Chain A
Amino acid sequence: MPDSAITLAEVNKKLGHREVLKSVSFAVEPGDIFGYLGPNGAGKTTTIRIILGLFQPDAGKVSLLGQDVTVDETRKHVGFVLESDGLYDNMSGYENIAYYAQVYGVSKTAAMTERVIGLVRLTDRARDKVSTYSKGMRQRLSLARAMVHNPDILILDEPTAGVDPSGQIEVRQIILDMAHKEGKTIFLSSHNLDEVQRICNRIALIDRGEIKLYGELDQLQRRMGRGEVMIETREPVSEPILAELARMPEIDIQSRKNRAIVLTLGKGSADVSDVISFLTQRGAKIEQVVRRDASLEEIYTTILREAEQR
């Protein structure tokens, strides 16, 4: 069985007297676009710093492709975009990338530098000083730097933060290209829930140093969803049948308009197939069933609210 791209097992970290990470465990599989979510101060940046070997965990294990992250050579497998872009303003975009190519020991520095600058569509501005770049261009250049040594894993900390909407679209497209065309595993820390929902297949939610939620995004959406379902029948369902339906456990009828019933299914035993068979047994002809899973925003707020109440 191949190793996970990133594995954190029972990682604890204290900074001063503050426990920043408490038994954090998750795995990012090769090919994943993994979304790492959490409010400010939740421990996202500390997690990233541990993955990059900048911080040592007090307890627990961290590995990249099965290798110990504290070994310098292991970091050859990782490219990164940190919160601060880390670019040298007085150097051109090309020089910035070529410098990192050399630090990583890339053999064909010039060719690789040109290639990644092309990937992020900055070829025409490559010779300009980075101080003249817009925020979006800087983020794209940071992505190029992350790619210059052709790593297997990309760690991206808020790559679209502060970027204007069109810049965000460009950065997002580049991330998708890196994942799908270049086959990279992406670890994306972001506050942008819409962005994470659009591009990530697996997520973890951290709050106050603890992982509150972790798993495949669509499964979580289904599991966490209020299970809103719209059922459209050929003829309007009669009131007595509706009243009977409403008495079924964990079913809550939200609205009814002509032939459409909108209801929510609880997290327990209720299932949409039960509702369909209930209605068909009572002579209703089902024309359409539209299931709306919970949005990431709903999941996020629910989990954080629950944590707050505890």
Chain B
Amino acid sequence: MRQAFIIARKDIKEALRSRSTYFYILFMLLISIPYLSGAPTVLRRLTEQGLGPADLQAGIQAFLNTIVYTLPLVLIMLFCSFLSVYSIIMDKAKRTLESLLATPASLRQVWLGKSLAVALPSIVVTLLVLLIAVIVVNQVFVVPNLGVFLVPSVLSLVAALLIIPVMTFFVVCIVNFLQLIMTNPRIANFAFIAIFLGTYLITITELAASWDFSLIYLIVTILLAAVTLVLGRFLSKEKVVLSSKG
């Protein structure tokens, strides 16, 4: 475990040294704007329906919860796909991975370290952006209209603070697995989009329509964990080294 953290810390340090990381954080803030811009529309529609203050608050609360459920998923996948470039893709391109694999660090520790290096900063940055989003929605739309500061529901918070981060970790593990064994590791990044879209599509199916988002995320997380465990059996240093050629 210790070696995995050393590897993760080094990769995070390297990513933080790059200016493009900060540009990407800014980009994440910017793409949150269209998400939040739905707030005045929702507020207007609810007001036009002539709802009382309690129903109005419930409607806004539902909107806020949706943001907390879905925004982190979008942001985290975007940031992960960006950060993963600094981890395995760069290591394979510059042939630094082979040297790391020749140390006493096991392949699983390297895999874990590389996955933590992508997942941890993505989770932290996403949660910060989400916090900013919740404050902005409240300060700009909710407080002036309702006079209260709305806190997202417990379930949405559980999803954002616990389930999505865990799910992210397993998604990153799967993508990193693909990056480790693929000759062109950049292609593996499409898995981020595939898994994100897959999760999103589940949330809009009829079956899942009545389910809470957190339950859907939990099921997806369990599935991803199982896939990660199975994939771990197929990883070997030889595959990684041979796929690093050229």
Q: Which residues of A contact B (CB under 8 A)?
A: 15, 49, 52-56, 72-76, 78, 80, 82, 84-91, 99-100, 102-105, 145
Residue of B nearest to A81 (CB): B99
Chain B residues, CB < 8 A from A73? 104
Q: Do residues A54 and B106 form an inter-chain contact, with CB atoms below 8 A?
A: no
Whether B201 sits at the interface, judged by CB under 8 Å, is no
A52 contacts across to B, CB distance below 8 A: 102
A52 to B98, CA, bound (A): 10
A104 touches B104 (CB 8 A): yes
Q: Chain B residues with Cβ under 8 A from A75's Cβ?
A: 102-104
Q: Which of B48-56, B157-165, B216-224, B237-245 contacts A (4 or more CB under 8 A)?
A: B237-245
Contact B105 A72 (CB under 8 A): yes
Count CB-based A-B contacts (< 8 Å). 70
Given A15-B242, A55-B238, A103-B3, decide whether A88 and B96 contact each other with a Cβ distance below 8 A: yes
**Which of B18, B104, B242: most chain A CB closer than 10 A?**
B104
| Contacting residue for A55 out of B95, B105, B237, CB 8 A | B237
Residues of B within 8 A of A (CB): 2-3, 6-7, 10, 14, 17-18, 94-96, 98-106, 236-238, 241-242
B6 touches A82 (CB 8 A): no
A-B contact pairs, 8 of them (CB 8 A): A52-B102, A53-B237, A54-B237, A55-B238, A80-B99, A82-B98, A103-B7, A103-B104
Q: Assuming the A-B contacts A54-B101, A72-B106, are A86 and B96 also in contact, with contact meaning beta carbons closer than 8 angstroms in the complex?
A: yes
Q: Which residue of A lies closest to B240 (CB)?
A: A54
Across the interface, which residues of A come within 8 angstroms of B102, CB to CB?
A: 52-54, 75, 78, 80, 82
Known: A49-B241, A53-B102, A99-B6. A84 touches B17 (CB 8 A): no
Beta-carbon contact of B94 and A56 below 8 Å: no
Contacts A54-B237, A84-B95, A88-B14 given; does A103 touch B106 at CB 8 Å:
no
Report the bound CA distance from A176 to B182 in whole Å.
Answer: 40
Instruction: Name B241's contact: one of A55, A80, A87, A99 (CB within 8 Å).
Output: A55
* Inter-chain contacts of A105 with B (CB < 8 A): 2-3, 104
Say which residue of B2, B100, B236, B238 sits within 8 Å of A86 (CB atoms).
B100
Instruction: Assess the B7–A56 pair: CB atoms within 8 A.
Output: no
Q: Which residue of chain A lies nearest to B241 when distances are taken between CB atoms in the complex?
A: A54
Residues on the B chain within 8 Å of A104, using CB = 103-104
Q: Which residues of B contact A88 (CB under 8 A)?
A: 10, 14, 94, 96
Contacting residues, chain B, for A53 (C-beta < 8 A): 102, 237
Starting from the known contacts A52-B102, A54-B98, A75-B104, 6 additional A-B residue pairs (CB-CB under 8 Å) come to: A54-B241, A55-B237, A55-B241, A84-B94, A102-B6, A103-B100
CB contacts (< 8 Å) of A102 on chain B: these are 6
- Quick check: A103 and B96 within 8 Å, CB to CB? no
Please give me the residue from chain B that is nearest to A71 by CB atom. B104
Contact of B105 among A56, A90, A103 (CB under 8 A): A103
Residues of A within 8 A of B237 (CB): 53-55
In the bound complex, CA of A80 to CA of B10 (Å): 20
- State whether B98 touches A84 (Cβ < 8 A): yes
Residues of B contacting A90 with CB < 8 Å? Answer: 14, 17-18
Q: Which of B10, B103, B106 lies at the interface centre, i.e. has the most chain A CB atoms within 10 A of its CB? A: B103
CB distance from B133 to the nearest CB of A (A): 32
List the B residue with the shortest CB-CB distance to A103.
B103
Shortest A141–chain B CB gap in Å is 12
A85 surroundings in chain B (CB, below 8 A)? 99
CB neighbours of B105 from chain A (8 A): 72, 103
